[in-house]
A = this chain, B = another copy of it.
Amino acid sequence: MSPYPQTLEWIGDAEKGCLRLIDQTQLPDVLTHLDCSDVAAVWDAIKRLRVRGAPAIGVAAAYGCVLGARSGNLKESIEYLSTSRPTAVNLFWALERMKNLESEDPHRLLTEARAIHVEDAAMCKAIGENALPLISAGSIVMTHCNAGALATGGMGTATAPIYLAHERGISFRVYANETRPLLQGARLTAWELSSAGIDVTLICDGMAAHVMLDQKISLVITGADRIAANGDVANKIGTYGLAVLARHHGIPFYVAAPSTTFDLSLPSGEKIPIEQRDPDEISRGFGRQTAPKNVRIYNPAFDVTPHELITGIITERGIIQPVNEQSVRWSQNT
């Protein structure tokens, strides 16, 4: 049995089947699944973060196209799904690929969506193999948010070398930043890694600098939502600060992401749209009001880490290192 969770899968055939997702908003309390039988349900699941993580969003959107074709409005469905979240480029990539099939046959679309899913899992595995040498006995890895199995159709991106190292009996430890406001690190990363028997310790985001020094972090690995042509990385808010802290402490800072995360049309990170989310996520994210009512709140979901702070970008093809426009373009053209 796989040590990591199966985030999404298509159940049944193209005609009557549905997209089954782990409802990540319910973790870590309960592991529940959500069956999406129409495009609106997929859009809603992406919007509400029931499924999240750039690669998983792409796979979910691809399956969503099958549902759209089935109800006879594929084109509108593609448009609609593209409005669910603005930052992750994999969403647009997957929708484009489905559109380029120029088919409205649900069977044909399902075959393509399944191919995207299988390729995503293979990309995760390849990222894991490429990053595996970075983890050795005694390593202490820090990660942020969830670039785990739950964020992909496979074993995750940042977590892929973690699962592989664990499988190979390497003894190492992980620190997971809880990742406010939505606590993906606490709810998802700590859950999936501890479920797999991996030695993971949860901390608050503000503890990262102290832990880097005090616990002697060996390396930081995060995921990415979009990577510009010069290697600037948009990822979950907090990533940029971590990269600055890692640099200050002389700790290598890696980003793990499949090639589908690159957006070579953007020369740098400056132009990456940063999603602003509901202030309630900060003031009452977990049931009770924890900030004064009506206080002004700023809630950017992502930040941009300039390539100069990134030691290497681990893709399914290898590690891009050093990170700059030349190395990124070269890696993505070969």
Residues of A within 8 A of B (CB): 28-29, 144, 175, 177-181, 183, 186-187, 190-191, 194-195, 199-211, 213-215, 237-238, 240-241, 244-245, 247-248, 282-283, 285-300, 303
Contact = CB atoms under 8 A, between A and B. Distances in A.
B186 A206 contact: no
Contacts of A178: 180, 282, 290-291
Given A178-B180, A240-B210, A241-B245, A291 B204 contact: no
Contact of A186 (B194, B245, B283): B283
B206 A241 contact: yes
Given A245-B244, A248-B244, A238 B190 contact: no
Nearest to A192: B292
- Grouping DSSP codes into helix (H, G, I), strand (E, B) and loop, the A interface class, with mixed when no group exceeds half, is mixed
7 contacts: A28-B289, A190-B295, A199-B296, A201-B298, A203-B299, A215-B298, A244-B244
6 nearest A-B residue pairs (beta carbon): A206-B238, A209-B241, A286-B286, A205-B206, A210-B303, A180-B204
Contacts of A186: 282-283, 290-291
A190 B291 contact: yes
A300 B183 CA distance: 19
Contact of A303 (B209, B240, B294, B298): B209
A305 to B, nearest CB: 9
Contacts of A28: 289-293
B237 A202 contact: no
